[in-house]
Structure 1
């Protein structure tokens, strides 16, 4: 009886620890034009609809377009934090289905160039956000550079977006290979976008899996694939996230399955026990550079 009670207590404490701090997720791609930002937005909305509190942070430096995809360009952005002394909480805007959004922009280039005092302010305020959300999703810019690489190395999970196009597949493999060469413990997830058939999606995922296993001895967790659905382009034209534009579309249902797989997959217990110290890593990479 005492052993059972102790085990139950450990389980409760474990669950509290897992959910006390937001899980940080970077959505990345090897090249532009694969639907990364659209995925980030609709993925965040889908997680929110499933009952999670979500912050979406547009990290696409100079090309931030999350607010455009939402049809909302009137709010503040990260520039207001750097240039006008606003707090991070002040620049958070409300998005569809109760998601929170920090809009990006050219001001993000300054995030990686800040003096230590201002960077500490960013870290301190961001630390205050970690307890407010279940997930913080960073929509990263396409490709990688020295600074974005450091940022990607700090998050808990990396979701790689590709399409079946050979160039997109090769670029996705190259990004994974590069980041894995720096830290082989990074957990990668894979989503294949704009597939014409289930077979094409499966073949694309298998191609990447086989290459990673053969050349890097690296496993990647496939979350699924999204069909090339006309409702997506219509939703973008109307500046409405596609999961809200047509929740019954094939692509919306596929994304729901992807979110459920990420949220409840068999990998969850093992990976979630390995939660990183996001802010500590961020400071070690950027302060004193």
Structure 2
């Protein structure tokens, strides 16, 4: 494990010239079953394919399954880093296409209940990877809890995943409302998943945008639309990310475009030292319990 960690560190250091700091993206949903984890994984893979250094953190309490979606069995988890005082480099594993990821584990709920000593150690470990990655992607659990929001509100930006189903849209709006109540300045974009057509996806987003602007005074942007396709379920059963399982499928082409557009358009204003801002906010939210 130490050899693997050292090799990973060396590879990242070699590619870290001109680094601007690590950006933290929280991927959330108002309800479960909307394809959030699948999107997080494939989005991360395509950002990496486009030349970015990416690490996926599986923070979905009780449903942590990024490793399963890749057909891997993780040796260590986030919880091991805290409970057994491992280095963060020891728990970083390489999944599909050498994507760096950290598994959540079944005891992940303890991650959201850190005492001051464990919080200090957690932050120290996170600081070790600042600048080593362009993006940290938090695959958060569905719904809203206070402790979970310490991670979400500390992020550089938030992606809300929804489907066109009315219950999903309603729950996505509830998530947007909660975010806006806590932090009016955090950038939020929406990913519409499982759309039967592009027009349905756009209509779903526009409905959310209108109500968010009218009732929350929150401006949101459209990250992208991923079409509904049975190939995604086939990929899940095969335990291969769908963008690798069937690169020419419509969902794969959609997530590839989303990743490339995200990199190329710089949708959100770049901030100085985004990771340090994340650490400062994270510490504040936990200490203000």
TM-score in terms of structure 1 length: 0.90
Return the alpha-carbon distance in structure 1 between the equivalents of residues 254 and 46 of structure 2.
Answer: 11
The 1:76/1:225 distance shift into structure 2, 3 A limit, reads same
Q: Which residue of 1 aligns with 2:7?
A: none
SS for the counterpart of 2:62 is coil
Return the alpha-carbon distance in structure 1 between the equivalents of residues 110 and 88 of structure 2.
Answer: 15
The 1:210/1:48 distance shift into structure 2, 3 A limit, reads same
Q: Which residue of 2 aligns with 1:62?
A: 62
SS for the counterpart of 2:107 is helix
Pairs aligned (count)? 273
Deviates more, 1:41-50 or 1:16-25: 16-25
The 1:266/1:102 distance shift into structure 2, 3 A limit, reads closer
Tell me the CA shift for residue 288 of structure 1: 6.1
Which one has a bigger Cα radius of gyration? 1
Residue 152 (str. 1) matches residue 152 (str. 2):
yes
Q: Which runs of 4+ in 1 moved over 6 A?
A: none
- Per-residue CA distance 1:142-191 (angstroms, 9 max, x = gap): 00101111221100010000000000001001100111011110100110
- Per-residue CA distance 1:46-80 (angstroms, 9 max, x = gap): 00000011110000112101111010014211122
- 1:191-202 to structure 2, matched below 5 A, reads 191-202=191-202
Residue ranges of structure 2 left out of the alignment (5+ in a row):
1-15
SS for the counterpart of 1:153 is helix
- Per-residue CA distance 1:87-124 (angstroms, 9 max, x = gap): 11101100112211100023322223222122111101
Tell me the CA shift for residue 256 of structure 1: 1.0
The 1:181/1:202 distance shift into structure 2, 3 A limit, reads same
User: Does the 8 Å CA contact 1:82/1:107 hold for their aligned counterparts?
Assistant: no
- Per-residue CA distance 1:7-65 (angstroms, 9 max, x = gap): xxxxxxxxx99943110000000000000000000000000000011110000112101
Q: Which residue of 1 aligns with 2:20?
A: 20
Return the alpha-carbon distance in structure 1 between the equivalents of residues 273 and 127 of structure 2.
Answer: 19
TM-score in terms of structure 2 length: 0.90
Tell me the CA shift for residue 84 of structure 1: 2.3
Please give the root-mean-square deviation of Cα atoms over the aligned residues, in Å. Answer: 1.8
The 1:103/1:170 distance shift into structure 2, 3 A limit, reads same
Return the alpha-carbon distance in structure 2 between the equivalents of residues 194 and 34 of structure 1.
Answer: 8
- 1:1-289 to structure 2, matched below 5 A, reads 19-265=19-265, 267-268=267-268, 270-272=269-271, 275=274, 277-287=277-287, 289=289
User: Does the 8 Å CA contact 1:235/1:242 hold for their aligned counterparts?
Assistant: yes
